[in-house]
Amino acid sequence: MQLLSAAVTQAINIVIDFTPVAAPEGEVIDGVLGADFLQRFVVELDYRHQELRLHDPGSFAYRGTGTIVPFRMNGAFIIAKGSVTLADGATVPGEYVVDVGSSLALALAKPYVEANSLIVRVGATTRRPSGRGVGGTAFANIGRVPMLHIGDVAVPRPVTELFGDSAGVFSTSNLGDGNIGGDILRRYTVTFDYARKQMVFESHDRTNEP
pLDDT value, residue 113? 94
Tell me which residues of the chain have a pLDDT lower than 50.
1-4
202-205 LR contacts (CB < 8 Å, sep 24+): 202/64, 202/65, 202/66, 202/67, 203/66, 204/48, 205/48
Side-chain half-sphere CA neighbours of 142 within 13 A: 14
pLDDT value, residue 2? 44
pLDDT value, residue 89? 93
pLDDT value, residue 3? 46
